[in-house]
Amino acid sequence: MKKIINPWKGIKGYFCFGCAPENEAGVKMEFYEDGDEVVSFWHPEPKYQGWKDTLHGGIQAVLLDEICAWAIALKLQTTGVTSKMETRYLKPVMTTDEYLVLRASVKEQRRNLVTVTASISNRAGEVCTQAVCTYFTFSKEKAREEMYFNGCFTEDEDTDPVK
């Protein structure tokens, strides 16, 4: 897997709850390219629980929405906004797991509407949560001018992302 370089890192005012490394309240996701998929290995913390030892459903939705956005950034080289998100909670996601594996891939593009599927699996590989997100994507010009997006790329070398 190749680590995806965060294209917004270092931009003044960048404070995304999902991926900004400097946002203390955020989930600080990092991403990797694995073939057609974007992958994230996320370490749950008790501060994100709903019920005891269970990851809050809203945090799960944040994680899924964020990885879908990164799939669009890397695979389509643009940005956008979530138009619709359908989430299925199949089994509890435990905050006691050492890490979770999130995967997302672009499934369909019709003009500026893009459908992305994503999942959260526990360390045992069981799919716990699934989502289908529809994004309204921006033109490359608007993404560059208004979202400060100059492209999304990977590092040259393969990385072992499980830390």
- Give backbone dihedrals phi and psi of 75, rounded to 5 degrees, phi first: -80, -30
For residues 108 and 89, the answer to whether their CB atoms sit within 8 Å is no
pLDDT one digit per residue (tens) for the chain, 163 residues: 999 999 999 999 999 999 999 999 999 999 999 999 999 999 999 999 999 999 999 999 999 999 999 999 999 999 999 999 999 999 999 999 999 999 999 999 999 999 999 999 999 999 999 999 999 999 999 999 999 999 999 998 888 887 5
pTM given for the model: 0.95
- The pLDDT, as a whole number, for residue 161 is 82
Q: Structural domain boundaries of the chain? A: 2-150
End-to-end, the C-alpha distance of the chain in Å comes to 14
- The pLDDT, as a whole number, for residue 162 is 76
Least Cα distance to 106 among 37, 162, 152, 21 occurs for: 37
- Give backbone dihedrals phi and psi of 73, rounded to 5 degrees, phi first: -60, -45
The CA distance from 163 to 104, in Å, is: 20
The CA distance from 96 to 55, in Å, is: 9
- The pLDDT, as a whole number, for residue 158 is 83
The CA distance from 151 to 121, in Å, is: 28
Kindly give, in sequence order, each residue whose CB lies less than 8 Å from that of residue 45, ignoring residues fewer than 6 positions away: 95
DSSP 75-125: HHS--EEEEEEEEEE-SPPBTTSS-EEEEEEEEEEETTEEEEEEEEE-TT-
- The pLDDT, as a whole number, for residue 163 is 58
CATH of 2-150, one of 1.10.3720.10, 3.40.50.720, 3.40.309.10, 3.10.129.10: 3.10.129.10
- The pLDDT, as a whole number, for residue 50 is 95
Q: Is 73 helix (H, G, I), strand (E, B) or coil?
A: helix
The CA distance from 11 to 71, in Å, is: 21
